[in-house]
Amino acid sequence: MIRSLIIIFILCISTALMAQRPGGLGNRNLLQNMPGGFSRGGGGGNSGPFKDSLLHRTGLEDSATIAYRYLDTSRFYFLDSSVNDFSRKWHIPWYHIFLGNTGSASRSLLFSPNMKPGWDAGMHAYDAYIQRVEETKFYNTTRPYTQLNYILGPKQEQTVTMFHTQNIRYNWNFSFRYNLINSPGLFRNQRNNHNNYLLNSWYIAPKRRYTAFFVLSANSIGATENGGIVSNRFLDSLPAFGNRFNIPANLGGTAFEGQTFLSNTINTGNKYKITNWLIRQYYDFGKKDSVVTDSNVVYLFYPRFRFQHTLQFNKYSYEFADVRVDAAGYKKLYGITDLPASFGIKDFWRMLDNEMALYSFPDIKNQQQFLKAAVGFQNISGDFGVRTQSYNTLYVKGEYRNKTKNKKWDMELAGTFFTAGTYAGDYNALALLKREIGSKLGALTLSFMNVNRTPSFVHDDLSNFKKFNIGNTSFKKENTIVLSALYELPKQKLTVGAKYYLAGNYIFFKNYTQAAQEATLFNVLMLQATKQFKLTKRWNLYSEIFVQQATPNSPVNLPLLLTRNRFAYEGRFFKNLNLSTGIEIRYYTPIKMDGYSPILGQFFLQNDTTIRNRPDVTAYLHFRIRSMYIFVRAENLNAIQANPFGFYSNNMATPVQPIPGMLIRFGLNWGFVN
């Protein structure tokens, strides 16, 4: 598969080079001369149309203007060229905690309940590494553009990203992205190998009545699970266990796993495969117009009504397998004594989602105001080895959006209700209101969300994972309400906000093998603030603070305070050098950190061990020279100790999962116009 992807990538670049021939259409723009063009603030701006770069030579022929949008919004965004925040380019958000190796299971330190109604498998520990359809970026570029990204970490850890986008014709864009994470790990039995690719395309007919989107997203997750180390005492047994790989682990045995690059052998662990196909088409009825420029006719179209059809086909495979069972480890973690020498459990799913929608645009000059009504049908089939099961469900959707012409008000009302079938009664409802108060006073956003959802399928008796999830299964629907407010003051580079969660029938895991449901309502209040402080001409302090508090005796453990601060020396030097270097510190207050059940792939509540981690400290050097972005990072400097000297004071991700000591990452990102 790797060889095939490389061939596809080479063909993309070759096609891009051919598209640059004089007289070709490769440099024309998908949105050329559309009403109002687009601006950095989003679609529908007044920045004016792009022109074909072949019609007028400007001296910028070796550069590209690249914008992108998402599937369910018409607003456009530009590529991020900043160099001061590595987390924007990394797989795991800065507010996540992960199990000690790049590519391992992760979860948010902030309260983040499941807000997805309808069918859900319940396997979310590796969501950070999965490319989702709703997060797909549909590009428009004036020139074919390619990005190559390579990151080298400890113990042959390597991360590779290849990305290419181009306008095949002025009204047709194609994009390709491939990601690879290969990380052997610093502790025993921690190998991770993830790879995914994304193909997507966006087509607008010459007369702009018909538009089509296509997405193919394929994700392969391979994660070795060691169940944590046998005893934390080994962390202090120096120098015998100074090499952390020598510390015995609960699962996976004692066999040495090779560290060959691109190896995807997972002897003990989780193997997830998720594939998504989507085709969306719509046809508009409305008012047509045209503009003649330089002897070319450019068609314009102002929709009044839109008929839209979305067809989505998804496949999900969730498997845990162990070909070298360590009986002592399973007895310790799961209390099981009768496992064979090797075993595996697997759930396989197919989902077909067919949706029809009708749009109405009340103001023909404002395409960001519309009414939407939709109806959809889902067919879901599960294969559990000895048995298959099918589920059908019908849902309706409604939505109203309006970003006013003066850009002062942004309103959204949206809802999905499952009316019949297996998931009847599930719903989500959203109300959002944003007001641009002024350039000096900023903007205020208020929102309300309510979700009613059926428990995830991992709790169903049909699931093969129920062999290890032996808790109660008669759970009621979960219901969660979220109220939020966010005030943004761009001139002062300040945002402050608050979220209030009210959770009912909340489902959680309480140990390695048992789930439970909280019968009483509980709430979580979260306050947040971000601010950039200008200390001197070159020194900046970037601060992000979250404070959260849950109802006493609620089934969640959250750090009271979570903060990240970056002290950065930065600026533009020698015309082409954009530099940011300094110290990054993340800190959270002591917490009874959740445990992790490897077979089920679930984090669970534990109230026995309080973890008091040191602040995570990273020294970094990031800089960009033209289109080349390079970084060097020394992470986990907080692990330093004096006697014996070294980086052995490991923080803990769970009571038995250490985070590595100091490690060096080096990487580069090169973007170029083909």
Query: Which pLDDT belongs to residue 292?
Result: 66
- Please tell me the distance from the alpha carbon of residue 539 to that of residue 583, in angstroms, as a whole number: 11
Query: Which pLDDT belongs to residue 53?
Result: 34
**Hey, how many other C-beta atoms are within 10 angstroms of the C-beta on 601?**
24
DSSP label at residue 614: P
Query: Which pLDDT belongs to residue 29?
Result: 46
What is the full DSSP assignment across 560-576? SEEEEEEEEEEEEETTT
Is residue 286 within 8 A of residue 241, CB to CB? The reply is no
- Please tell me the distance from the alpha carbon of residue 318 to that of residue 580, in angstroms, as a whole number: 41
Query: Which pLDDT belongs to residue 279?
Result: 97
367-to-35, 364, 371, 405 alpha-carbon distances in Å: 10, 7, 11, 10
Residues in the chain where the model's pLDDT stays below 70: 1-63, 255-264, 292-295
**Hey, how many other C-beta atoms are within 10 angstroms of the C-beta on 382?**
22
Q: Quick one: tokens of 201?
A: 């395309």
Listed by start position, the domains of the chain span: 2-673
- Please tell me the distance from the alpha carbon of residue 44 to that of residue 37, in angstroms, as a whole number: 6
Quote helix, strand, coil % in the chain, to nearest 5: 10, 50, 40
Q: Quick one: tokens of 554?
A: 């609620």
Q: Give the CATH number of domain 2-673; options: 3.40.710.10, 2.40.170.20, 3.40.640.10, 1.10.287.130.
A: 2.40.170.20
Regarding pTM above 0.95, the answer is no
Is residue 403 within 8 A of residue 409, CB to CB? The reply is yes
Q: What letter represents residue 293's amino acid?
A: T
Query: Which pLDDT belongs to residue 261?
Result: 53
Q: What are the strands, taking DSSP E only, across 467-538?
A: 478-489, 494-504, 506-509, 515-518, 522-534
- Please tell me the distance from the alpha carbon of residue 213 to that of residue 279, in angstroms, as a whole number: 6
- Please tell me the distance from the alpha carbon of residue 456 to that of residue 452, in angstroms, as a whole number: 12
- Please tell me the distance from the alpha carbon of residue 640 to that of residue 620, in angstroms, as a whole number: 17
Burial label, 439 (beta-carbon count in 10 A; 0-12, 13-18, 19+): exposed
Query: Which pLDDT belongs to residue 347?
Result: 95
Catalogue the long-range contacts made by 644-650 (C-beta closer than 8 Å, 24 or more residues apart): 644/238, 644/239, 644/242, 646/238, 646/242, 648/235, 648/236, 648/238, 648/242, 649/614, 650/235, 650/244
Q: Quick one: tokens of 67?
A: 């914008």
- Please tell me the distance from the alpha carbon of residue 315 to that of residue 273, in angstroms, as a whole number: 8
Residues, the chain:
674
Tokens 């959270």 locate to 588
pLDDT digits (tens, 9 = 90+) for 129-169: 999 999 999 999 999 999 999 999 988 899 999 999 999 99
**Torsion sign, CA atoms 82, 86, 91, 97:** negative
